[in-house]
């Protein structure tokens, strides 16, 4: 751990405009509510949305559930970012495969749904991008279900 032993968590999805920033903003609120200190960010494995804002449907769902979510700009994760983090939490197994190509020695790569004890290990976080706004509600529900396990994991790091 760097930065005075404050754990760092990076949430990762494809473009960093839906799932990973949703998880980032949920985690920031949950960690604050739980009194857990961590550096929390998000990134994508792709650079196609570089600098773009969060999807407006994601922003709408987060805001309606009381999560602050301003100032997001999409960016692509790189090997340095992967290796510097304590936990890199991906939306899908495919994202882990891509990050393993970027940083073959990384041993900090995990799936978000693996922190939800009701999910089958290796499950994907629902991708709401191609569907209706309701899909963003389902994604938020899945992120919230994983948060207690993520909080516990970060507490063990501190």
Strand spans (E) along the chain: 8-13, 39-44, 87-90, 109-111
Beta bridge pairs of residue 11: 42, 89
Catalytic residue among 13, 18, 69, 119: 13
Separation of CA 77 from chain center:
12
18 annotated active-site: no
Q: Assess whether 69 carries a catalytic annotation.
A: no
According to DSSP, the residues that pair with 44 across neighbouring strands are 13, 76
> Rounded CA gap, 156 and 47, in Å?
32
Torsion sign over Cα 105, 108, 113, 117: positive
Which residue among 47, 78, 127, 138 is the active-site one?
Answer: 127
Q: Which residue has the tokens 């279900």?
A: 145
Positions marked catalytic = 13, 19, 127
């Amino acid at each position: 751990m760097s930065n005075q032993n404050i754990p760092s968590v990076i949430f990762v999805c494809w473009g960093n405009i839906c799932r990973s920033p949703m998880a980032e903003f949920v985690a920031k609120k949950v960690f604050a509510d739980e009194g857990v200190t961590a550096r929390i960010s998000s990134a994508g494995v792709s650079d196609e949305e570089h600098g773009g804002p969060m999807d407006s449907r994601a922003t709408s769902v987060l805001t309606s559930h009381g999560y602050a979510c301003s100032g997001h700009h999409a960016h692509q994760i790189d090997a340095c970012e992967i290796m510097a983090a304590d936990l890199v939490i991906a939306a899908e197994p495919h994202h882990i495969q891509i990050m393993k190509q970027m940083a073959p020695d990384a041993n900090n790569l995990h799936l978000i749904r693996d922190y939800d004890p009701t999910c089958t290990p290796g499950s994907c976080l629902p991708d709401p991008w191609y569907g209706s706004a309701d899909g963003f509600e389902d994604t938020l529900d899945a992120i919230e279900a994983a948060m207690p396990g993520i909080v516990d994991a970060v507490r063990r790091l501190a």
